[in-house]
Amino acid sequence: MTGREVVVSLRGKDKGRLGVVVGTDDRFVYVCDGKKHRLNKPKRKNPRHLGPLGVTLPEAAFTGDAGLRRALARVRDTVTHD
């Protein structure tokens, strides 16, 4: 998984929630949703517990948590209405 990729959580308390990958390390990826997990404190997740949606957010979505929430809402609307 790469940075700025939109994913859905498949396991854990946040199951079913959309987020965006903001970083990776050897074993984990870091995911933000702009609400519960803000850009300054991303959620550490096992990559096996995430499902990629094949959508990448533009850099403009990362200006703040509100912009990230709006971008994820647009993705959620397009994914659920297709």
In whole angstroms, what is the distance from residue 29 CA to residue 19 CA? Answer: 11
pLDDT at residue 59 tops 70: yes
User: Where is pLDDT greater, at 73 or 80?
Assistant: 73
Please give the tally of structural domains in the chain.
1
pLDDT tens column, 22-45: 999 999 999 999 999 999 999 999
Report the b/e string of 10-36 with b at 16+ CB within 10 A: eeeebeebbbbbbeeeeeebbbbbbee
In whole angstroms, what is the distance from residue 54 CA to residue 75 CA? Answer: 11
Does the predicted model carry a pTM greater than 0.75? yes
Among 16, 10, 9, 11, residue whose Cα is nearest residue 31:
9
Among 38, 37, 27, residue whose Cα is nearest residue 1:
27
pLDDT tens column, 4-24: 999 999 999 999 999 999 999
pLDDT of residue 82: 58
* Domain span holding position 37: 5-80
CATH of the domain at 63: 2.30.30.30
